[in-house]
Amino acid sequence: MKGERTQNTQKDLCSVLEPDSIAVVGASRDPTKIGHTILKNLMISGYAGKLYAVNPHANEVLGIKSYKSVLDIKEDIDCAIIAIPAQFANNVLRECGKRGIKGAIVISGGFKEVGEDALEKELIDISKKYGISVIGPNCLGIVNVHKHIDSIFLPVYKLKRPQLGSISFVTQSGAVGSTILDLIGESNIGISKFISYGNAAVVDESSLLEYLRNDPDTKVIVMYIEGVKDGRRFFEELRKTTAVKPVVVLKAGKSALSAIAAKSHTGTLAGDYKIFSSMLKQAGAVEAENLEELFNLSKIFLQPLPKGDRVLVITNGGGDGVLAVDAIERYGLRLAQVSAHMKNKLKRILPKHVVVGNPFDLTGDADSGRYRIALQEAVKEDGVDAIIIITLFQTAGLGSEVVHEVINTDNNTDKTVVSVAMGGEYTQLQLGIIESYGVPAYESPDAAVRSLSKALWYYRKKLQNPLRPREIEAGVLPIVRNVPIKTGTRKGSK
C-alpha cells in the first residue's frame, strides 16, 4: 500500500511539476496583471511543451491563441495555472476536472488565509472528486529548471532566476521564497525545483517531500514551513527522506505572536515550536535558525559530507584564522593536527615567516602559488576531514588566480572544502566564481564553521537512521555535486 502511495504521489505530482502542456487561466494582455507575467515567464523560460491561454475577453495573448474556457481546448492538458479572483477559481477548477486535467496551480489568494474556509473546502472537494493535484491556493507558482518551467508571477527583471542545479526549495510563503530564489540566483548556486505551495489545501509538505525524495534531479531539499497539516505523516516522510538526502528546514511561527501571524498568512496553525524542533532532530532534518542560515546550509550540502570533526584552516590573514579557531571551538569541532611530515616539508619550501600549523597562516604577502603548495599537501593529510580556505583578496599579491587553486583543490579531494572571504565588490566577484563551481563560499568564518558543524551532525544522524540504504550502511556516501562540469577529477568519483 505504501509503495502504491509513492507511485501515485509521483505520478500525480508529475502532472503539476513536470507537465507537457499548460493552460494559463487568466492570461492577460495587460502587463500589470499576474496572468500576463505568468504566461510571459513560461515563454521566455524556454518551456518546450504546449502553452494555452484562457481569457474569455481576448482572441490572443502574447501571440498565443486564447480560449474562453479550458473546455474549449481539444488537445490534452496536463496542468492548469489559475490566476483569477478567488470567487471564480473553483468554477474553473471544476471545469478542469470535467476536462480531465490532473494538475493545477491555484495562484489566487482569498481562501482560508482570510477566513474563507468554505471556499477552500469547496476547492478540496472538487479536487477529490476529479482527482486533481492542486498546489495552492494563495501561492507564488513553481519553477522546474530541468524542464524550463517558470510559472511564478514575478517578472525576471525584478527577480533573478537561478541556474540549473540540484537543490529543490519548498516554501509555504511566496514572499520568503522569492527572496531566497533571488539570493540563490545572484549567488550562482543552482536549483532543480522551486515550489511555493501556499495554503496546502490539497498538496501539502508531506506529499512534496515524498515526491522530491524520489526525484533524481533533487539532491538537497530546503523547506520554509509555517505549519504542517499532518504532523505524524510529515515526520514519517521526513525520516524516510533524510535517510537518502539532506533536508534543511526553517520553521516560522516560533513565538505566540508569530504563530498568529502565520495563521493569517496561509491559514495554517503553526503548532508548538519546541515540539516541532524536537521532531526535526528525531527525523534527521537540519534546522536553520533564520533566513541567512537557511541560505548558508543550502550550500554546504553541495559538498561531500564531512566524515569527522577535524578542521584545517588555511589563510593569508592571521586575524581571520583566529576568528575561525574561535568558531571551531564554539560549534564543537576540532582543530586538525598537522603531521610532522607536512610541517617539515613545507618549512623547507615556504618562506620562514609562514606559520605552518593550524591555522596555517600564509601571511599577507601570500600569492596563489603559496596557496597551491599548502593546499596540495593539505588534501593528503589523513587527519583532516574539512578544509576552510580563507582568502584576504585585498592584499596586493593575491589576485584572481587563487580562485583556481580553491576550485582545483575541491576537484581533487573527497574532503569537505569551503571558502571564506570578506569584502566588497572585487571580493564578491571572486566568491561568485568559486560558488559557480560548487564550492560553498561564506562571508565569515563563523558562518562557514556553523554550517560545517550542522553538516557533520546530519552525516552522523544519517548513519544512525534505521531506514538508511545499503551504501550508507557500508559507509560509502555518494558525492553530491551541484555543477556537473568540473575542471578536474575528484578522488573516489566515477
Tens-digit pLDDT profile for residues 427-474: 999 998 998 898 999 999 999 999 999 999 999 999 887 776 654 444
Q: How far apart are CA 60 and CA 365, in angstroms?
A: 64
Rounded CA separation 397/51 (Å): 54
User: Stretch 120-149: mean pLDDT, rounded?
Assistant: 96
- The residue written with cell numbers 555535486 in the block is 481
User: Is the per-residue pLDDT at 242 higher than 80?
Assistant: yes
What does the pLDDT read at residue 11?
Answer: 63
pLDDT value, residue 255: 55
pLDDT recorded at residue 78 = 97
DSSP secondary structure string for all residues of 350-412? S-TTSB-SSSEE--TT--HHHHHHHHHHHTT-TT-SEEEEE--TTSTT--THHHHHHHHHHHT
Residue of 494 and 382 predicted with greater confidence: 382
**Cβ-count burial of 178 within 10 angstroms (0-12 exposed, 13-18 middle, 19+ buried)?**
buried
Please write the tens of the pLDDT for every residue from 165-214: 999 999 998 888 888 888 888 777 889 999 999 999 999 999 999 999 99
pLDDT value for 91? 98
Burial class (CB in 10 A: 0-12, 13-18, 19+), 35: buried
Contacts of 32 (CB under 8 A, 6+ apart): none
3-class state of residue 244 by DSSP: coil
- pLDDT for residue 257 is more than 50: no
Q: Give SS3 for 246.
A: coil
Q: Determine the pLDDT at residue 31.
A: 94
- Whether the bond between 162 and the residue before it is cis, its omega within 30 degrees of 0, is no
Mean model confidence pLDDT for the chain = 88
pLDDT attached to residue 487:
31
Domains belonging to the chain, first-starting first, are: 2-300 (3.40.50.261), 310-473 (3.40.50.261)
pTM equals 0.88
- For 267, 394, 446, the CA distances from 296, given in Å and listed in that order, are 29, 23, 11
The single-letter code of the amino acid at 245 is K
Q: Rounded to whole angstroms, how far apart are CA atoms 450 and 333?
A: 9
Compute, in degrees rounded to 10, the torsion defined by CA atoms 166, 169, 174, 180: -70
* % of the chain surpassing 70 pLDDT: 89
Share of the chain above pLDDT 90, in %: 76
pLDDT of residue 256: 53
For 81, the 3-state DSSP assignment is strand
Q: Characterize 443-474 residue by residue with b for buried, 16 or more Cβ atoms within 10 angstroms of its Cβ, and e for exposed.
A: bbbbbbbbbbbbbbbbbebbeebeebeeebee
- Is 478's pLDDT higher than 50? no
Beta bridge partners of 420: 390, 442
Kindly report, residue by residue over 7-17, the tens digit of the pLDDT: 445 568 999 99
Q: Look at residue 332 and tell me whether its pLDDT is greater than 60.
A: yes
